[in-house]
Amino acid sequence: MAEKQFAGGSEAEIAVHWGEEQLIHPTVEFIAQANMTDASIYKRFSLENFPNCFKEYADLLDWYEYWHTTLDTSDAPCWKWFVGGKINASYNCIDRHLAKNKNKTAIHFVPEPIDERYEHITYRELYVRVNEFAALLRDFAKLKKGDRVTLHMPMVPELPITMLACARLGVIHSQVFGGFSGRACADRIVDSQSRVLITMDAYWRSGTLGDHKQNADIACGLAATDGQKVDTVLVWQRYPGKASSPTPMVKGRDHFVNELLKDFYGARVEPEKMPAEAPLFLMYTSGTTGKPKGCQHSTGGYLAYVAGTSKFVQDIHPEDVYWCMADIGWITGHSYIVYGPLAVCASTVIYEGVPTFPDAGRAWRIAQDLGVNIFHTAPTAIRALRKLGPDEPAKYTYNFKHMTTVGEPIEPEVWRWYYNVVGKGKAAIVDTWWQTETGGFLCSTIPAITPMKPGSAGPGMPGIHPIIYDEAGNVIPPGAGRAGNICIQNPWPGGFQTIWGDRDRFVRTYYERYCKNPKSKEWRDWPYMTGDAAVEAPDGYFRILGRVDDVINVSGHRLGTKEIESAALVVEEVAEAAVVPVAHEIKGREPDLYVALKPGFTPSRELEKKISDAIAREIGKIAKPRKVWIVKDMPNMRRVLAAISNKKDVGDVTTLANPDIVEDIRKMAG
Ligand code: WT7
């Protein structure tokens, strides 16, 4: 295997190496109704027809002005799509559907408490609420085109309402995952220079109505220390008119949205006609170094790409009820709960809470209640649902025609449970491989055209041309049986434009490695490096092995090792910290943390807990290590620690300054 070529302690090194699987074909019923059954789509989107092939996606949208240049490469590798085009994302997701579909449900909201009613928001109602809130943002919060605003909101309809209101004004939203800490929120406020924060007082999670307002206070305090003052905090109330959080409002800064909104009832805001390449939003993601990267996504290219993939890969029709169980705080939610589905006039489901609350049947009851027929989730959730209630799906009468898995590699065993038990042997599955940076899918099958293969994401999407390079820059051909760095040969409209405020880092991180000529303005010279390891089968299907860099994919979400290590160093007793990925049954990967203490401090259970709590406080619960190992000294080589954590051979350690410590640590880790 090719493991040797990867940096020490990478996910690719601990990937499960399962064998080739048989192809599985979708049912005739699925094919008969599918949006895309014409196999010539691959030919239409071949490299010879690049970039004009993407007109097919852009034509799914309504433009104020059509573009004159499909792809402008003059600022390579910052690509500009559909240049000259004018468009508004909010108009495309709402207004244009009103003529035919105003009474159709746009959003089904499912609160976590089982005794609370579902809410069904029609496109007309969405139009009214987005307009009123857009007026408030413009006239009260004084936000205008190009401003950035940070959102720190839970899974409630007010979140897409807020996003679409921003989009209506051309204001760039930056939603921070609700489960992230006030500290994480502050870092994103500072980096994006937001003077307005939009949040909610409380939300339900696993049966508890947690105080979320407190995070806003922490975030604003820390942001101010770091030089970014937030002058306005808009607080939605989970129960309008009722206090759900004990944290007091700060006079002059904090305002309840539902109180202010009364002044804007009936207000209408003309959508801004935005240039296609104007940024629509920022989405922060973890990288190899400490600071999260603000991935800047465009308006026209992004929306075209998510609309096209929602239609052809998610197979969304007007009569479908579509449920993506991701959180809108991640890219999956932006692209495939909000922008993609609403652009194609779907009914999209938003569920506030945990899929296994109060029991393992909850998700299937929701699907049954709402008539969900397209279901979208991550392997981590599938593993959890399978473990807790392997026989639950059979008890309910929902009927899925289509299911998605996304976020991390799925083991063929888990895939088969998803297919046979959740999908009842008839739902077509797509395994979509992509990233925060890429806006939409990179590899996936087109469900009625290309058959499924458990554990493989499938071929490149139409118009996406993956290529695998080895460390020396040679192409690894299909069927070679070797893994390498998977890259994309060409730009595509959904790709991010840059890292907010850091073009150099953008070029360095994603393009420098395999760039053929740094002066070139030709897209052919700039393969995009994904940071994943993959193997290509003889039939052109890609199997993704995981990250080759210092990023850990926990439950389908990226955490930077440096970020976790910095959080550990906040604890005064800690001198050094090193984090490594460990295989985990449900989460896919989990961080294991090794720390060495400053002289004079002694290890204890309390200290382990203090360190673990500090990480949850600094980043969020998702980053909590499986175990904190307090060690005497650090071999300071992630490869060695990862081998110990994963119970593998540590290899040659003779070059370490302190080789004896390795044996000590190994004994301790059992
Ligand atoms: C990383 C991106 C894409 C939205 C959710 C995560 C891994 C993603 C798959 C898949 C195997 C996958 C990759 C990628 N990944 N989808 N279908 N099979 N691995 O977005 O947080 O930006 O993470 O998730 O390692 O690079 P993200």
AA identity, residue 127: Y
547 lines ligand 1 (CB under 6 A): yes
Is 60 exceeded by the pLDDT of residue 269?
yes
| Residue 385, φ and ψ in degrees, nearest 5 | -65, -35
435 lines ligand 1 (CB under 6 A): yes
639 lines ligand 1 (CB under 6 A): no
Is 70 exceeded by the pLDDT of residue 298?
yes
AA identity, residue 516: K
432 lines ligand 1 (CB under 6 A): yes
160 lines ligand 1 (CB under 6 A): no
Q: Which percentage of the chain shows pLDDT scores above 90?
A: 86
The whole-number average pLDDT for the span 590-597 is 93
Separation CA 212–CA 204 (nearest Å): 10
* Ligand 1 atom with the shortest distance to the CA of 11: 25
Range name among 79-88, 497-506, 607-616, 642-651 with the lowest pLDDT average: 642-651
285 lines ligand 1 (CB under 6 A): yes
Separation CA 579–CA 590 (nearest Å): 10
SS3 338: helix
Q: What is the pLDDT of residue 651?
A: 78
Give the residue carrying structure tokens 């959740």: 422
95 lines ligand 1 (CB under 6 A): no
Is 90 exceeded by the pLDDT of residue 324?
yes
Separation CA 668–CA 666 (nearest Å): 5
- Our mutation pick for probing the ligand 1 site, out of 544, 547, 548, counting the most ligand atoms within 8 A of Cβ, is 544
Residue nearest atom 12 in ligand 1 by C-alpha distance: 408
Separation CA 314–CA 310 (nearest Å): 5
Q: Residue 621 region, left (φ>0) first, then alpha (ψ -120 to 50), else beta? A: alpha
Label each residue of 148-214 as H, E or C: EEEEECCCCCHHHHHHHHHHHHCCEEEECCCCECHHHHHHHHHHHCCCEEEEECEEEECCEEEECHH
Is 80 exceeded by the pLDDT of residue 358?
yes
456 lines ligand 1 (CB under 6 A): no
pLDDT digits (tens, 9 = 90+) for 169-206: 999 999 999 999 999 999 999 999 999 999 999 999 99
CB 533 within 8 A of CB 484: yes
User: Which of 431, 641, 642, 409 has its CA nearest to residue 546?
Assistant: 409
SS3 498: strand
494 lines ligand 1 (CB under 6 A): no
| Residue 623, φ and ψ in degrees, nearest 5 | -90, -5
Q: What is the pLDDT of residue 636?
A: 67
The whole-number average pLDDT for the span 206-210 is 97
DSSP string, 14-82: G---------BPPPHHHHHH-S---TTHHHHTSGGGTTGGGHHHHTTS--SB--SEEEE-TTTTS-EEE
Q: What is the pLDDT of residue 652?
A: 74
Report which DSSP code applies to 396.
S
CB 440 within 8 A of CB 463: no
- Our mutation pick for probing the ligand 1 site, out of 324, 334, 406, counting the most ligand atoms within 8 A of Cβ, is 406
Residue nearest atom 25 in ligand 1 by C-alpha distance: 546
> How many angstroms is it from 338 CA to the middle of ligand 1?
19
pLDDT digits (tens, 9 = 90+) for 523-544: 999 999 999 999 999 999 999 9
- β-strand pairing of 105-110 with 119-122: antiparallel
Report the residue count for the chain. 670
Q: Give the contacts of 342 (CB within 8 A, at least 6 positions apart).
A: 93, 94, 106, 160, 164, 348
The whole-number average pLDDT for the span 500-518 is 96
Intra-chain end-to-end CA distance of the chain, in Å: 27
The whole-number average pLDDT for the span 486-513 is 97
557 lines ligand 1 (CB under 6 A): yes
Beta bridge partners of 120: 108
Separation CA 188–CA 294 (nearest Å): 8
The whole-number average pLDDT for the span 310-330 is 97
Q: What is the pLDDT of residue 4?
A: 46
User: Which of 550, 625, 465, 474 has its CA nearest to residue 50?
Assistant: 465
331 lines ligand 1 (CB under 6 A): yes
- Our mutation pick for probing the ligand 1 site, out of 456, 553, 563, counting the most ligand atoms within 8 A of Cβ, is 553
What is the maximum span of the chain, computed from C-alpha positions, in angstroms? 74
> How many angstroms is it from 240 CA to the middle of ligand 1?
37
Give the residue carrying structure tokens 């899974």: 155
pLDDT digits (tens, 9 = 90+) for 127-152: 999 999 999 999 999 999 999 999 99
Is 60 exceeded by the pLDDT of residue 1?
no
Could you tell me the pTM of the whole model? 0.94
The whole-number average pLDDT for the span 288-300 is 89
> How many angstroms is it from 532 CA to the middle of ligand 1?
9
Q: Please give the residue that has the higher pLDDT: either 261 or 12.
A: 261
Question: Rounded mean pLDDT of the chain?
Answer: 94
User: Which of 242, 155, 160 has its CA nearest to residue 204?
Assistant: 155
The whole-number average pLDDT for the span 239-243 is 96
Q: What is the pLDDT of residue 661?
A: 82
Separation CA 166–CA 134 (nearest Å): 7
Separation CA 189–CA 193 (nearest Å): 6
The whole-number average pLDDT for the span 405-412 is 95
Q: What is the pLDDT of residue 633?
A: 81
Separation CA 152–CA 210 (nearest Å): 14
173 lines ligand 1 (CB under 6 A): no
CB 272 within 8 A of CB 168: yes
10 lines ligand 1 (CB under 6 A): no
- Our mutation pick for probing the ligand 1 site, out of 335, 433, 464, counting the most ligand atoms within 8 A of Cβ, is 433
